[in-house]
Amino acid sequence: MELMVNGARERMETNATVADVVVRFCASPDGIAVARNGEVVPRSAWARTTLGTGDRLEIVTAAV
């Protein structure tokens, strides 16, 4: 399926979760926040939040 990750079109497997995207695009999940279609996804929900074609994800890292 295709979705947008930080403004770039990306392909992921069908039924991918937010956790799958974080593993693919982030060296470490520490200090990461994810929004799906404009709404923050709590870290506790990453593994059970299934993505769909056309979803928009924004992944941000806390500045340290």
pLDDT along the chain (64 residues), means of 10: 97 97 94 97 98 98 82
CB 59 within 8 A of CB 8: no
What tokens does 17 get? Answer: 């979760």
User: Which structural domains are found in the chain, ordered by start?
Assistant: 2-61 (3.10.20.30)
The pLDDT, as a whole number, for residue 33 is 97
